Amino acid sequence: GHSLGGAYCTLTYAEFLRQQAAPQFKHFVFGDMYSYGSPRVCLEPFATHVNKLTQAGTGKYVFRIVNRDDPVCTVPPRTVAQIPAYPFIHVGGAYKLAESGPHKMIQEPPPVDPQSVSEIIWRVKHHRASHTPQWLGA
């Protein structure tokens, strides 16, 4: 899923994982989950549970794709002062797309200084699928 669709995708995938042992899912084959440009969607206990269910050896993985400096991936904000009010984080491993190729990111970027509206507006171009690196073929 992309953007808000990536957020929905994350929440839906987590619900499928939660119910995977239920009889109605016994013939369902769970694949991997990919989100592109998704905002933060959950609190730490939720992320820890999903990450445990999708760790190496489970056959299920969660991939988050971040295009360059896409500001949507930093929503809700995480400055040190905002963490108590907005403790949302991402699930799964992340790969940042850059002109030089994809780079593995740390699980959750550290808190950042607040950004101006003009900075956020300038960076929003990285959220559009048409603005992906050329090597990706988009």
Asked whether the predicted pLDDT for residue 80 surpasses 80, the reply is no
Quick: pLDDT tens for 103-120. Answer: 888 766 655 666 666 777
Quick: pLDDT tens for 9-60. Answer: 999 999 999 998 899 988 888 889 999 999 999 999 999 999 999 988 888 9
Higher pLDDT, 125 or 33: 33
* pLDDT at residue 119 in the model: 74
Quick: pLDDT tens for 59-76. Answer: 899 999 998 888 888 888
User: For residue 73, what are its two tokens?
Assistant: 């991936």
Confidence of residue 83 (pLDDT cuts 50, 70, 90): confident
What secondary structure, in 3-state letters, does the chain show?
CECHHHHHHHHHHHHHHHCCCCHHHCCCCCCCEEEECCCCCECHHHHHHHHHHCCCCCCCCEEEEEECCCHHHHCCCCCCCCCCCCCCECCCEEEEEECCEEEEECCCCCCCCCCCHHHHHHHHHHHCHHHCCHHHCC
